[in-house]
Amino acid sequence: MAEVRVEHLDKAYGADKALDDVTLSFPDGGFFGLLGPSGSGKTTLLRAIAGFVIPDRGQVFVDDQPVENVPVEKREIGMVFQSYALFPNMTVADNVGFGLSVRKVSSAEQRKRVDAALDLVQLGDFAKRKPHQLSGGQRQRVAMARAIVTQPRVLLLDEPLSALDKALRVDMQIELKRIQREVGITTIFVTHDQEEALTLSDQIGVLKDGQLVRHGPPREVYNDPRDAFTAKFLGDANLIAGTPEENGLRLVDGALIAGVKQSMVAVRPENIRITVSEPNTPNRLRAELRQRIFGGAIGTCILDWQGTAIKAVARDIEFSELSDTGLVWISWPTDCTIELQ
């Protein structure tokens, strides 16, 4: 197990900055979720940690030791990618044991460790199968077993679940978390699925254009995203802009959001209430209900407030008193106003 730290990492491809001054530490034994849109530098950061990418500037440390001069195969890092790239002609056991045979581990020891790794991913009965005889989820578990069988100090997972369909992905998320807890290995998990990152991680980091814009425990980052990008990327957010005054944020329709010092706030769709009669709360706006969308248990309403689209979600039953369109009130609890910089 090990702590990983990167300091001031830069990596440019031509004029493109894949990594732009990234400083971040990944706690020992923790599950760190790395998030960001496509092209934001997630894979480049993992590859720099693994040693496949040489940064233009900055350092990678494992347990406070710089690994600049440590080649990929000596960094003791396990990796799983989106495409699991198993050897098609080898059995599951041989695929898992491959890294051990390369390392000249004795065959008795290999067998023991392969069995243990397959048990861990609950594929003990599948050792003799070939990859084409497995489902997508099972193949991904083989890839996991292969990554951890060499007992690496760090596990890097690059969108390992994105090729799986939704239901299987959710099963695998639970499985992945269990495996990580059991092995206790420092894990860096890349995803572009914010829900997946929030569910699995002890800590998350958000990348944008090669820069780390925000990091911290998922709940903290979700509740206080600080900037509009993080607010919108992590979950959904209604952005409301106005003019800061002494007492708060003055909006175009004259309403005041008290206590706010910045010129923009975000309100999560799940915190917005819609009522026909005027609510007795300070943060209330007159808005036009444009659309009610039935979604099973959870319903969505799209509203228009002064030309700005506002989204509200709630248990569908809570919207049942509303007609499909018309003038309504939207309001939210004072502590649900998120101030943005």
Ligand X SMILES: Nc1ncnc2c1ncn2[C@@H]1O[C@H](COP(=O)(O)OP(=O)(O)O)[C@@H](O)[C@H]1O
Binding site for ligand X (CB under 6 A): 13, 16, 18, 36, 38-44
* Region from 36-44, 252-260, 279-287, 299-307 binding Mg ion, contact rule CB under 5 A: 36-44
Q: Compute the least distance from the CB of residue 81 to Mg ion, in Å.
A: 9
Measured CA to CA, the distance from residue 230 to residue 237 in angstroms comes to 9
User: Which residue, 201 or 283, has its beta carbon nearer to Mg ion?
Assistant: 201
Rg (the chain; Cα; Å): 24
Taking phi over 0 as left and psi of -120 to 50 as alpha, with beta for the rest, 8 belongs to left
Q: Compute the least distance from the CB of residue 135 to ligand X, in Å.
A: 26
Interaction between residue 43 and Mg ion (CB under 5 A): yes
Q: Compute the least distance from the CB of residue 73 to ligand X, in Å.
A: 20
Contact partner, 16, from Mg ion, ligand X, none, Cβ < 5-8 Å per class = ligand X
User: Which residue, 43 or 180, has its beta carbon nearer to Mg ion?
Assistant: 43
β pairing state of 264-267 and 31-35 = unpaired
Element (H or E) spanning 146, and its range? helix 136-148
Contact partner, 13, from Mg ion, ligand X, none, Cβ < 5-8 Å per class = ligand X
* Region from 13-21, 43-51, 69-77, 311-319 binding Mg ion, contact rule CB under 5 A: 43-51
Question: b/e map of 39-70 (b: 16 or more CB within 10 Å)?
Answer: ebbbbbbbbbbbbebebeebebbbeeeebeee
Q: Compute the least distance from the CB of residue 241 to ligand X, in Å.
A: 29
User: Which residue, 42 or 311, has its beta carbon nearer to Mg ion?
Assistant: 42
Measured CA to CA, the distance from residue 123 to residue 138 in angstroms comes to 8
Contact partner, 36, from Mg ion, ligand X, none, Cβ < 5-8 Å per class = ligand X
User: Which residue, 232 or 284, has its beta carbon nearer to ligand X?
Assistant: 232
Secondary structure (3-state) at 118: helix
Task: Provide the residue type at 269 as one letter.
Answer: P
Task: Provide the residue type at 270 as one letter.
Answer: E
